[in-house]
Structure 1
Amino acid sequence: MIVPRKLRRLAGWITVCILVGVMVVSWGVPRTLLPVDDALILRTMWDEEQYLRQIIWRAQGPLEADDPALLRILRERYLDPPSPGPMDLMLDRTDPTAQRYNLYRRGFKSWMRTNKLLRRLFSDVPSGFFLEAGALDGEFISNTLYLERELGWTGILVEADSTLYAAIAGKRRKVWVSHSCVSPASYAQKMTFEGYHAEAHASIEQRLLVRSTGNLAGVMSPAGGQMGTKVEEKIQCFPLFSYLLALNATSLHYISLDVEGAECDILLSLPWKRVNVSVLSIEHRDQNTCFREYYEMPFGSMAVTPQREENGKAVDSAVPHKTQQSKDQGPTIPHTAQQDVVVQTRVVYTNQHDPASGKDDYFVRFMKERGYVLYDYWDGDYTYIKMNSSVCERHCGESLPAGVELGSRG
């Protein structure tokens, strides 16, 4: 009877030793079972991976734009560095496929106009930084390729569509690239992106045009989801400000924002006092009433136009309107009679209209209050220049380049 008792006691001690051994390996404390350096390495790797997993989960919403953990995830998981080697562009090819692809360079009037404006504004700026959101494949109707290829600029391309993002790598552009989307809020979140596929028999430029209409779910896009077959995917979105912080580029020369309907919310959530952008190209259609709603009274009351505000008549002073600035937004510029808002009624998307019409004066007012002058408007594309910038000093008072009519200015 004594032997079994000793055996049970021995088994108990063995069990205790095994448990202690497991704890030692897990925590890496004593030196007898595991070298100190190896234990610390294992512990650090475990902690690091768990930390990153937690931040990735939290980044699905919400983490604020300047959260250090969010910026780390953006840098480490969502930013591809500039590509080595020479560029590989359709622009440099002459085969039939490339010729079809490059038709936009002489047929896509909106892109041609913007490209001409950028050449005028930046031809004497040999080194700069840009951000292009809605980069497509990195070449097709790109607003920034000229700046990089001919002027030696660098920057970041942001593209949500998985297929288009994968194509950017083949272009070998010398810029950062992010497979993500710009959040329409001041915090990061995971959202549904609705991409569109053209018919199988479509030409290469038709396929790209259809894919260029992809948008975030729930956003009023210009194309209205009427082109191609919809394919949904979950995508991580970061505030515009986060990309700039992650690359230490809160002062930059140019932003191109063309994300199919989310532009207004992105601009509303940008902390304007913490960024310095010389020129912005922004797509915005007047059927998107976001900026008008920004200036309306609460509960759907009549909009407070600058004229009504200045005259002080027919305005219900008991209900404050949204012209009050947040702490992160730029200074308010006094309104004048020239800022009277005329609400447009026509929808601007196709070319079967006057491309000089459809300007959203609420949007112009919003940007003016943040220190920007409208340099050009054409068919839903706005070009703004910061009033106190060197670009404005050189170009704000001059006539537009040849082929760009003066009548299109704001």
Structure 2
Amino acid sequence: MVTILEMERIASWACRKYVRFLMLGALSSCAFLNLALHAGMGLTYYCSEECMTQVLNGPLHSMDKDIVNHIRDYWVDPPATKGTYKPTFNLENPPWATMGKWGEANKMLIDYFKGMKDGYGTFVEVGAQDGEFMSLTLYLELKKQFKGLLIEPNPIDYPKLRARGRSAYTINACAAPYAGHRRDVLWLRDTPDNLPPILHRIQEGSNRLLQFVSTEDQELGKNVDIQCFNLAAMVKAALGVSYVDVLTISTHGGELDILHNIPMSLKFRVLVLMVPLATSEEWEELAALGKRRGLTPVFDKNNIHILIPSNQVAIEKKG
């Protein structure tokens, strides 16, 4: 005879085992199952894996508290101890500083925050790759002691990111370019081993959601199933805040969609998008999305776009 306590343990195990890998839905059903076991007093309740899949298959609001708690409990990995990561290069002039206008963008962020008191800033980096290559948050973390969150969906890059030893929270998921949360498919480009080191790292980091890959390019890589969460929910789960000083997004597709679907409850001071804007409509969309949040573009070079508070731009122009 299976006791109520044993059934509770089974239910709890089922939630832990399957909830991380299934499409997210009514997470409160796990709590409901335990409640039913208490209230039923002898009620026989059986739920197979198929049943659990159905339970976890409904849409949820982007900032649903159960989702935020679920991300915090099952997806957020803790920071490494400060001082673990020791770069072998100058943070103001890394080996990739001359690639495009990356060095100029990095310098602008350094100059912008140089007056901020150390230890008071926050950042979120979407598309963190291995946690080092072309990261615009390294200086802020190591020199200004910013608290941060690194988000990387690639299951191959993510262990490298964790091994890097950065003192930031990390999540192995994608920032959803749509409302809500769901399972999706990530395309990983095949990377030849004989490429020069810098080019090899560029190729490794060029993964993207399958919907942003042209049909003719799909055969040049492989697909993996991943989980996508709304960005604001991940920020709330990891950092417990609704305001960040720097948000950088580099996903090789869907950057504007991610930005569009971030609830207005999440505020950010500086926005950095690394995305090619191919049409006038895309430029107008970026400007409109920035204006909606009180931000104005001040840096648009080689697919890097930096937006800062519009009132600061006005002050600079007057000066």
Matched residues in 2 for 1:53 and 1:281: separation?
A: 37
Match of 1:237 in 2: 228
Matched residues in 2 for 1:166 and 1:54: separation?
A: 21
Asked whether 1:197 is paired with 2:190, we answer: yes
1:107-186 pair list within 5 angstroms:
107-125=98-116, 126=118, 127-186=120-179
Give the 3 Å change call, closer, same or farther, for CA 68–55 of structure 1 in structure 2. farther
Please, which runs of 5 or more residues in structure 2 have no aligned partner? 26-56
Match of 1:397 in 2: 315
Matched residues in 2 for 1:111 and 1:78: separation?
A: 30
Q: Is the 8 A contact 1:52 1:73 kept in 2?
A: no
Q: Is the 8 A contact 1:377 1:383 kept in 2?
A: yes
One-letter code aligned to 2:252: E
| TM-score normalised by L of structure 1 | 0.62
What's the CA shift for 1:52? 4.3
What's the CA shift for 1:70? 1.7
Q: Is the 8 A contact 2:187 2:213 kept in 1?
A: no
Root-mean-square deviation (Å): 2.6
**Secondary structure, counterpart of 1:66 in structure 2:** coil
Q: Is the 8 A contact 2:71 2:237 kept in 1?
A: yes
- Higher relative contact order, chain-length normalized (CA < 8 Å, sep 6+): 2
Match of 1:71 in 2: 68
What's the CA shift for 1:369? 2.9
Number of aligned residue pairs: 277
Q: Is the 8 A contact 1:198 1:229 kept in 2?
A: no
Q: Is the 8 A contact 1:55 1:69 kept in 2?
A: no
Please, which runs of 5 or more residues in structure 1 have no aligned partner? 1-21, 29-39, 95-101, 290-342, 345-358, 400-410
Asked whether 1:264 is paired with 2:228, we answer: no
Q: Indicate which of 75, 80, 98 corresponds to 2:77.
A: 80
Match of 1:369 in 2: 292
Match of 2:267 in 1: 276
What's the CA shift for 1:374? 1.3
Q: Is the 8 A contact 1:59 1:189 kept in 2?
A: yes
Matched residues in 2 for 1:262 and 1:210: separation?
A: 18
Which digits, 9 at most, give the CA deviation of each residue in 1:293-312, with x for residues without a partner?
A: xxxxxxxxxxxxxxxxxxxx
Give the 3 Å change call, closer, same or farther, for CA 213–382 of structure 1 in structure 2. same
Which structure has the greater CA radius of gyration? 1
Match of 1:326 in 2: none
Give the % identical residues. Answer: 21
Match of 2:181 in 1: 188
Q: Is the 8 A contact 1:88 1:170 kept in 2?
A: no
Q: Indicate which of 301, 305, 311 corresponds to 1:378.
A: 301
Match of 2:88 in 1: 92
What's the CA shift for 1:53? 5.3
